[in-house]
Structure 1
Amino acid sequence: MAKATYKDSGVDLEVYAQSMARLPRLLKRTHSPRVLPAEGGFAGLFSLDFPGHLFRRNYQDPVLVSCTDGVGTKVKVAQMAGRHNTVGIDLVGMCVNDALCMGAEPLFFLDYMAMSHDDPELVEALVEGISQGCLDGDMALVGGETAIMPDVYSPGDYDLAGFCVGVVDRAKLLDGRAIAEGDVLIGIESSGIHSNGYSLVRKIVFELAELQLDDYVPECEASVADVLLTPTRIYTSAVRKVLGHYRVKQVVHGIAHITGGGLVENTSRILPRGLQVAIDSDTWKVPPVFTWLQQLGEVDDEEMARVFNMGIGLVMITSSYYAESIQSQLTETGLNSWQIGRVVSG
């Protein structure tokens, strides 16, 4: 009887080592002095503060904020297109944008990749996107895990999950309690579909309309692949700009990341009891990608609004007094924003 080896079962440790050798540079480009050396260690190390140091943060009562998420079936589009260096940005964005809703400063990120077999080029491309997302989110990529599971994933398939940690002083925590009747909802533009609703997107585009990835979408002036693989916008610089501009406590009363469930569901999550949102959908122009999908699949308005962000990726809730000033700060970061509604009783 022949001796069994790990390689015979589908896991080649030599190829795995080649994959891992490609990653240190992608991690290190995201590191700040707060990342502590841990070469060969079993965990990443990050300093919350630097007593008596240039990088002193002066937290008074720090609260750690943690978020985890995945990319969903958008990875199927990346696999179809053979384009793997953008879904890592989505992975980071889906996590860090949630942390920002609490007013947190993003600190560090870890990823988990699962696939059928080791592929050094694929692993490098995925981590390249994750690394870029961490740069956009201004946080360190301190580690991760690559799982090779040949009996779970078919050749070419993979999945991504991520985990981020941030910190906020308890006094600056955005928990929605300050939201009051009459507050204004400021909607900040998304970059497109982001990373929600891709089971419906794929059904419309590839099953019902029978389009190919290289087909041209006139409404979006781009190919199907380019439209569907546009990365999730990461809002770290915008949120930091706004929150850092005002010394008054809680000028921003709440922040909502618009993901699955749409505008109403996600903004309602942070409202105190007895309040609801009144949104005026005529206050911003819905990006062409959504009108294209709606017409292509003959999707009802209500279903579109329930599944997709419809062009609004993040919502800040504030008193009307500060609304225009906040919009001015957002414009300086290069983002469009609109006053899309108000908080009302109900």
Structure 2
Amino acid sequence: MADAYKKAGVDIDAGNRLVKAISPLAKATRRAGATADLGGFGGLFDLKAAGYDDPLLVSGTDGVGTKLMLAFQTGRHDTVGIDLVAMCVNDVLAQGAEPLFFLDYFACGKLDEGVAASVIGGVAEGCRRAGAALIGGETAEMPGMYDDGHYDLAGFCVGAVDRDKVLPNTDAMVEGDVMIGLPSSGPHSNGFSLIRKIVAGQGLNWEDKSPFSDGTLADAFMAPTAIYVKELLPLCKAGSIKGLAHITGGGLTENVPRALPDDLAPSYDDKNLELPPLFDWLRSAGELSIEDIRLTFNAGIGMVIIVAQDVADSILDSLPEGRVIGTLVKK
């Protein structure tokens, strides 16, 4: 039967070898509450062992989008797994929750064990950065569904937060509260359909020298999404933060209002939102307005933190890369 299935395009042995290859990577993400052993029908997690007495669970799922096309075109597969984890754990963090465990889904037409191991190695690295356990996943080989050399990725994260620490705390927000921005590492995993169009329109290839930074365009645009858990989780647990906005699709324009009450709006200090060179090049090369940049991309800000005026300075002391980007005002 295995030979018959292999002739149909599905190599069960290759899948088994991949599981053995990635098992040590999963075990390296072990944390309290998880053993990180692979191979069962489901992944187990002991919430009590993780130190929670009255928690709420927070879940998030996402993918990497057309940034995967850069991986296919450049042969760089070791960072998109980090992107996958980051997009999920940063969303969970925005609710004040600690990411506990992660599961991935890798689908392809024909399994390339080396590529898959590189991708899932990135997933494990993202989990390590986030403090989450990689407790399971699925590798699907589906002949005819994907072009040669192509694959798709999806991920799922579960976190926990004590009931009285759920974010955003919109009841506590008032006019004058301060917005602090943490820098992104680039476009993260959003806007790549437009990015690919702009790069192609300039007649450039991904391995060409970058016109705005050292290295190649691939170096700049394949930089993995920043993970903010280790910087911000202690502040969330201490109750120092009123709200968080993860700046993904929809940019600053659409994501910050999601963390605010209906009667308040963000007012930005434009001089502290100067575009980093990558985004300034996209604006110029793509003939985009600032409004386009702030709606399509993160514009250099990956996470926005909302805090009271009287704690803003102490928060900035603990986050040396952060900067005030504006305040909350009455609508």
Residues 201, 293 of structure 1: 8 Å contact kept = yes
Mapping for residues 226-265 of structure 1, pairs under 5 Å: 226-244=219-237, 246=238, 250-265=239-254
Unpaired stretches in structure 1, ≥5 consecutive residues: 51-55
Q: Which among 102, 119, 122 is matched to residue 109 of structure 1?
A: 102
Q: Which residue does 2:325 correspond to in 1?
A: 340
Q: Which has more helix, going by share of residues?
A: 2
Q: State the alpha-carbon separation in 2 of the partners of residues 304 and 273 from structure 1.
A: 25
Q: 1:38 to 1:292 in 2, by over 3 A?
A: closer
SS at match of 2:302: strand
Query: What is the CA distance between 1:154 and its match in structure 2?
Result: 0.9
Q: 1:288 to 1:280 in 2, by over 3 A?
A: same
Q: Which among 187, 201, 205 is matched to residue 199 of structure 2?
A: 205
TM-score by length of 1: 0.91
Amino acid at match of 2:302: G
**Alignment deviations for residues 279-307 of structure 1 (CA, whole Å, 9 cap, x no partner):** 12211432111011111221222111110
Amino acid at match of 2:236: L
Query: What is the CA distance between 1:218 and its match in structure 2?
Result: 3.6
Q: Which residue does 1:188 correspond to in 2?
A: 182
SS at match of 2:294: helix
Q: State the alpha-carbon separation in 2 of the partners of residues 20 and 266 from structure 1.
A: 37
Q: Which residue does 1:305 correspond to in 2?
A: 294
Corresponding pairs, count: 329
Q: State the alpha-carbon separation in 1 of the partners of residues 36 and 175 from structure 2.
A: 49
Query: What is the CA distance between 1:241 and its match in structure 2?
Result: 3.6
SS at match of 1:163: strand
Q: Identity of counterpart residues, as a percentage?
A: 46
Mapping for residues 1-346 of structure 1, pairs under 5 Å: 5-36=4-35, 40-50=39-49, 57=51, 59-177=52-170, 178-206=172-200, 208-244=201-237, 246=238, 250-331=239-320, 336-346=321-331
Residues 284, 338 of structure 1: 8 Å contact kept = no
SS at match of 2:223: coil
SS at match of 1:22: helix
Query: What is the alpha-carbon root mean square deviation over aligned residues?
Result: 1.6
Residues 22, 120 of structure 1: 8 Å contact kept = no
Residues 186, 300 of structure 2: 8 Å contact kept = yes
Amino acid at match of 1:294: R
Residues 180, 343 of structure 1: 8 Å contact kept = yes
Q: State the alpha-carbon separation in 1 of the partners of residues 253 and 307 from structure 2.
A: 16
Q: State the alpha-carbon separation in 1 of the partners of residues 157 and 24 from structure 2.
A: 20
Q: State the alpha-carbon separation in 2 of the partners of residues 224 and 301 from structure 1.
A: 22
Q: State the alpha-carbon separation in 2 of the partners of residues 97 and 221 from structure 1.
A: 28
Q: Which residue does 1:53 correspond to in 2?
A: none
Residues 242, 329 of structure 1: 8 Å contact kept = no
Query: What is the CA distance between 1:38 and its match in structure 2?
Result: 5.4
Q: State the alpha-carbon separation in 2 of the partners of residues 241 and 295 from structure 1.
A: 39
Residues 215, 224 of structure 1: 8 Å contact kept = yes
**Alignment deviations for residues 303-343 of structure 1 (CA, whole Å, 9 cap, x no partner):** 11110111110001011111111011112xxxx11111111
SS at match of 2:5: coil
**Alignment deviations for residues 119-162 of structure 1 (CA, whole Å, 9 cap, x no partner):** 11011000110000000001100010011111211111111000
Query: What is the CA distance between 1:33 and its match in structure 2?
Result: 4.2
Query: What is the CA distance between 1:45 and its match in structure 2?
Result: 1.0
Deviates more, 1:277-286 or 1:289-298: 277-286
Query: What is the CA distance between 1:37 and its match in structure 2?
Result: 6.9
TM-score by length of 2: 0.95
Residues 277, 341 of structure 1: 8 Å contact kept = yes
**Alignment deviations for residues 72-96 of structure 1 (CA, whole Å, 9 cap, x no partner):** 0000001100010100000000000
Q: 1:210 to 1:272 in 2, by over 3 A?
A: same
Query: What is the CA distance between 1:240 and its match in structure 2?
Result: 2.1
Deviates more, 1:316-325 or 1:293-302: 293-302
Residues 109, 145 of structure 2: 8 Å contact kept = yes
SS at match of 2:272: coil
Q: State the alpha-carbon separation in 1 of the partners of residues 40 and 154 from structure 2.
A: 21
Query: What is the CA distance between 1:183 and its match in structure 2?
Result: 0.7
**Alignment deviations for residues 236-292 of structure 1 (CA, whole Å, 9 cap, x no partner):** 111124235x4xxx3311000001111131010121111111112211432111011
Amino acid at match of 1:300: S
Amino acid at match of 2:117: E
Residues 241, 329 of structure 1: 8 Å contact kept = no
**Alignment deviations for residues 187-223 of structure 1 (CA, whole Å, 9 cap, x no partner):** 11111110000000001012x1121121101421120
**Runs of 4+ deviating beyond 3 Å:** 36-40
